[in-house]
């Protein structure tokens, strides 16, 4: 009896120990055990080198949204099993939460970690088939090496994480190794994150406006409000320099509200100067779009500014919408009841724009600048023209307007006008400038651009 009790107690102790150190879903070591092992290897200097791969599944939320969380768990379980096989005997695999995994190699020969990482990226694309889901998965992988790219365990994990985000920013499904430029970029991000705390309080943010041209009337009848950060030391920063850091900061909510209030105040000022209604577009993050209080915020801001809410155009990206489609749809539908329009930005670059388009409360689609710029490249001219014609046709069939982005010369303007776009914006029409540089309803003289640039007959035929 005593022997049985001791055996059962030992088995129970082993189960509890396993639960404390391993992920219940995949059986891989968990985050706590990962940090413990890295600390022994790196902080206590028991390893000469540690290569760490930070793996994040691309667009995994769509699996949960499409098939349910149970199916998502099945996919994660399969990924965990495959990682053990792919990474080999020398590597250790961990699931540290959600759809994030880590693989690390101890005292591996030079180049082995890169080989394993490339193998993970490529083999991750192998189709997964379970009882409840059939899907292809992609993954972004960041790689960092101790002691070359990190001095301690926390830094090693953080730098691999930063490299993974860089890989994801390049389009995903690829590997990025953390190097000197990444260290400088990370240091810059940390500085901006610290500086953000005072940016709003000291009025360092401001709005610049890029004019939008109505291609039917030839008049400037709207402008897109673009955020700028007038940094005390770094000068005027465009969104690409700081937006990612801002979106991760607690300061963003207040900044987003400020942006809506200021844009509507400026619209009211233009209206009081004797102009008729002049549209102002603002870009909002996923968090703001999905916020059920967005309609109340817009209503209050319009009332405070003394202007009709219909002067506002809210620009959203597909990425912001698909992260929580139902919440975004409800929020945008509530806003549209107040009068503002909704534009789908960067149209044509997402994976599922067409499938969502018919379900979204959208008034305009903004054709991504990549298509517009290909109009004047000989190798891509025909394909770009066909794509834009198709987008215009789809928009019209759904009762929507089209805006061509990134128009940089007169030839591109002639093309998008003749292809049936309703509006255009870009450096040729006007660069982003402070509000005083915008002149509402200034008329642009088109002239005979189609003849001037000898556009192909099918492009120069106005289909409207």
Give the model confidence (pLDDT) of 224-269 as tens digits.
999 999 999 999 999 888 888 888 887 788 888 999 999 999 999 9
Backbone φ and ψ for 438, nearest 5 degrees, come out as -95, 130
Would you state the CATH architecture of domain 18-188?
Answer: 2-Layer Sandwich (3.30)
Instruction: Count Cβ atoms within 10 A of the Cβ of residue 159 and give its class: 0-12 exposed, 13-18 middle, 19 or more buried.
Output: buried
Say if pTM beats, i.e. exceeds, 0.75.
Answer: no
Cα–Cα distance for residue pair 196/204, rounded to 1 Å? 9
Residues of the chain with CATH 3.20.20.450: 204-460
* pLDDT of amino acid 156: 94
The pLDDT value recorded for residue 19 is 65
For 57-83, write each residue's pLDDT tens digit. Answer: 998 887 887 788 888 899 999 999 999
Judged on CB neighbours under 10 Å (0-12, 13-18, 19+), 345 is buried
Asked if 130 and 75 count as a contact pair (C-beta separation under 8 A), the reply is yes
Class of domain 204-460: alpha beta
Q: How many residues comprise the chain? A: 464
Residue 192 has pLDDT above 80, yes or no: yes
pLDDT of residue 447: 60
3-class secondary structure, 133: coil
pLDDT digits (tens, 9 = 90+) for 152-187: 999 999 999 999 988 988 888 999 999 878 888 888
- Residue 323 class from Cβ within 10 Å (0-12 exposed, 13-18 middle, 19+ buried)? middle
DSSP label of 109: P
| Contact (Cβ atoms closer than 8 angstroms) between residue 416 and residue 197 | no
459 pLDDT above the threshold of 50: no
> Contact, 103 vs 94, CB < 8 A?
yes
Residue range(s) of every CATH 3.30.70.270 domain in the chain: 18-188
Q: Distance of CA 171 to CAs 59, 114, 373, Å?
A: 11, 19, 20
Distance of alpha carbon 198 from alpha carbon 248, whole angstroms: 16
Q: Is 407 helix (H, G, I), strand (E, B) or coil?
A: coil
Distance from chain centroid for Cα 37: 33
How many CA atoms, within 13 angstroms, populate the side-chain half-sphere of residue 2?
A: 0
How far out from the chain centre does Cα 398 lie? Answer: 26
Structure tokens, 216: 């039917």
């Amino acid at each position: 009896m005593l022997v049985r009790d001791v055996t059962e107690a030992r088995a129970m102790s082993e189960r509890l120990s396993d639960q404390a150190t391993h992920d219940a879903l995949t059986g891989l070591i968990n985050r706590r055990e990962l940090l413990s092992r890295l600390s022994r290897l790196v902080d206590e200097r028991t390893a000469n080198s540690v290569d760490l791969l930070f793996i994040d599944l691309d667009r995994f939320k769509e699996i949960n949204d499409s098939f349910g969380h149970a199916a998502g768990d099945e996919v994660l379980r399969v990924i965990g099993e495959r990682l053990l096989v792919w990474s080999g005997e020398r590597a250790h695999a961990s699931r540290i939460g959600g759809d994030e995994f880590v693989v690390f190699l101890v005292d591996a020969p030079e180049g082995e970690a890169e080989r394993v990482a490339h193998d993970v990226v490529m083999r991750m694309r192998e189709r997964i088939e379970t009882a409840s889901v059939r899907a292809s998965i992609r993954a972004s992988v960041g790689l960092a090496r101790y002691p070359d790219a990190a001095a301690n365990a926390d830094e090693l994990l953080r730098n691999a994480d930063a490299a993974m985000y860089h890989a994801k920013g390049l389009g995903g499904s690829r590997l990025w190794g953390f190097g000197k430029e990444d260290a400088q970029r990370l240091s810059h991000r940390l500085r901006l994150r610290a500086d953000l705390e005072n940016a709003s309080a000291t009025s360092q943010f401001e709005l610049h406006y890029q004019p939008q041209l109505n291609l039917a009337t030839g008049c400037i009848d709207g402008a897109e409000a673009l955020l700028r950060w007038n940094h005390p030391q770094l000068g005027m920063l465009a969104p690409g320099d700081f937006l990612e850091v801002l979106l991760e900061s607690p300061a963003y909510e207040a900044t987003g509200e400020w942006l809506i209030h200021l844009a509507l105040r400026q619209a009211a000022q233009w209206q009081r100067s004797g102009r008729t209604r002049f549209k102002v577009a603002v870009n909002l993050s996923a968090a703001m779009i999905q916020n059920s209080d967005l309609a109340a915020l817009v209503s209050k801001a319009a009332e405070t500014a003394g202007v009709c809410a219909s002067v506002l155009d809210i620009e959203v990206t597909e990425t912001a919408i698909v992260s929580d489609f139902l919440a975004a749809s409800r929020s945008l539908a509530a806003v549209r009841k107040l009068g503002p329009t909704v534009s789908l930005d960067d149209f044509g670059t997402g994976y599922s724009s067409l499938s969502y388009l018919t379900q979204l409360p959208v008034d305009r689609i903004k054709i991504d600048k990549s298509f517009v710029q290909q109009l004047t490249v000989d190798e891509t001219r025909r394909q770009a023209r066909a794509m834009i014609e198709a987008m215009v046709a789809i928009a019209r069939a759904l009762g929507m307007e089209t805006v061509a982005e990134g128009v940089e010369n007169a030839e591109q303007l002639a093309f998008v006008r003749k292809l049936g776009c309703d509006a255009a914006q870009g450096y040729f029409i006007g660069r982003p400038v402070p509000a005083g540089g915008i002149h509402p309803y200034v008329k642009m003289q088109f002239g005979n651009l189609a003849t001037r640039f000898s556009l192909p007959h099918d492009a120069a035929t106005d289909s409207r």
